Structure 1
Amino acid sequence: MDFNDTPEEAAYRAAARAWLETNVAEHKAIAHADDMAAAKSWQARKAAAGYAQITWPKEWGGGGGTPIQSVIFGQEEAKFPVQYGYFTIGLGMCVPTVMAFADDATKRRFVGPALRGEEIWSQLFSEPAGGSDVAAIRTRAVRDDSDWVVNGQKVWTSGAHYSDFGIVLVRTNIDLPKHKGLTMFWLDLRAPGIEIRPIHQMSGGSNFNEIYFTDVRIPDAQRLGAVDDGWKVALVTLMNERLAVGGGGGAGPKDILALARELDAADGPLIRDPAFRQRLADWYVQAEGLRNTRMRTITALSRGQTPGPESSIGKIIAANQLQDLGNAAVEAEDQYGIINDPALLPLKGLFQSAVMNGPGLRIAGGTDEILKNIIAERVLGLPGEIRVDKDAAFKDLPVGR
């Protein structure tokens, strides 16, 4: 494992930092109507310079660079107040799937606008009855000449209320086992028969949505991959999602350490409490383990290698630590922990945000249980779990009672 930049990487980092210093200042000096307008303006600026998607081919508007260059730019960009999440799902999960499976005409139509921030994409996978099993999808698509007619429901769809397009996984064959009767399509989220309902979250936001399909017609030309072979297509999307979700972020050990120095406990400052100090030590060790695991991934990228399923480790640890750390901090704040005004809370309510968002991160991109299975089977080489439904037709799987 190598913690240092190569001379070439150091030069790239210096160039990226210089570009960011100049362009962030110019971007912040421009008056934008709202956060979305600011986000699209910054995305267009990055795209023009080849920084929007560094690893994508130049012929599609990317930078034609390496994965380690993308990591370096991300590290440097994180130091500036220009973090916009509107494009993460589209550029990190949806459009790469389109690029891998669509024809050239479709790619020419969508890749450029998405890269420049002109159009936003969302991913329509999860369903109310599916739980953590993506292959349990029940939204049906029935062939009607050159179209498919879709009926069903999706849920927890991030950003659908402000997205233009999406990729959707549907059931096209109930006579095959659940993993073999799925098909992927891209679709216009403003098409007739699509109803998007934002879900009100306990944080006060509405970032997720329910989506209802009523006789929605999708042309077969919008299919991604072969009919009934959508699981292979979905795996491309899911692996990108899990890598993105495992990136960490939010409250960390340094933040709660700063809080512990300010808060008073029964016998003085909380930082002097032996039990709390033990928890701080545990969080610090976890954080260092995460940092070193990510460095292994970065080292692999630097050497031109492809990181393996061990990246799932980071997602499990980071999401659980965020939830545990947030709960501990809010409890330590005692009655002040229930205040919901960020202006009155330490670090603008960072720990309250961790309490409310931590549980969701343990589900997004694969639940803890799913990822532990991946680690057990693909990293440790343990035998897979027994699956009694592996070869059963989807129509024969038990439903309800």
Structure 2
Amino acid sequence: MSGSTRRLSGAIQRLSALRPRKGVGSGLQRAQSFMILTTLLYRASHLTVGVLAVAQRRDGHPAQYLCLAAALALSLLVYGTALRRGWFEPRLVWADVLVTGCALPYVLYGWGGVRETPTIGWAMLLGGSASGLAAIVLARRQALTAIALLVVTHLLGYHLVGASRAVLGGHLNSLLSSAAITAIMWWYLRRQGRLLDEANARALAAEHQKARYAERLDHHRALHDTVLATLTTLAGGGIDANAPEVRERCGREAAYLRRLIQQTADEVHHPELGAALEDAVRSAESLRLRVTAQYHELPPVPPEVAAAFADAAREALNNVRRHAGTGHAYLTAAGSGDRGLLVTVVDRGPGFDPEDYVPGFGLRGSVHSRMAEVGGRAVVDTAPGEGVRVELRWPA
């Protein structure tokens, strides 16, 4: 592999390393995951207080257990859905505000026999986590409406049990500070997540530009060492342009130029695979076999797979030169399926009858075995008078 090709491979590897790994996601997704975890822990601390408060009451009314069970079930629904989908559902957040934050204290007061401030406190605590959740999930007006509704209902609820002004003031501060702190935290994390995504996008664009420049540089050097050198020599008049060896060299380099022109601007070739196949083609052309090669959206493959394809394709081209009785072969390489690869080598020779043919060492060892060793397979399709098609596929 040439130095520029190695640099291109390294650039693409660095570019791949900058992409978010599977299961990690973008910066914004990471911020969302962190907020889900933070608010979940906040709600879990309030539920823990509720479990302890209800468990310690020996004369607990069944309604108290039902209210605690309802709070637990709704919390599991809200946070379970968020963990599964990556963010909260606004309708479930509204249900949490109305049921857990607003209705629960009045159910305890009306049917649970709760008439004292300490016994209703655990239900009031849940309003703090409900207000924080509303502040980061709901639209601004809806969030303000939900928080105002929590404030009014909780102040009225504490008033029913005769809570002191200090308790009312402290709880009001808890509701509003929970919403404010959660909103500020979410604003900061979301901003940092977006900045991280923008930085990654700029880095990816820069690495992509470097990779494309390295690819162009590789082509320029190849043209300098081949086509330009030939044209310069011909222009100097030092050799006979009609000499067989000169015409043969011009034909090989014309085929190379043709392959470059056929590549579209959007095609991105994996450097190791593309270079390996092109080396196999040039090797065959140096032995006076004309090869029409086309490459389409080559996927990235492990180095050992690229080497196996190149070696198997080289042997298939050698077989065309030795046995097909034709001086022309066709090689096509393209992506297949989910990141798979298909390479075909075709000739228009006389072909043969597969039932009367015993594969030689080259076909057995250099084609079939090489592909099988890397988890691929080789198929030979031929018939008398139909030429030969060698199909190399990975994975098998």
Quick check: which one's strand share is greater?
Answer: 1
- The TM-score range, normalised by the shorter chain, is under 0.3
Give the TM-score normalised by the residue count of structure 1.
0.21
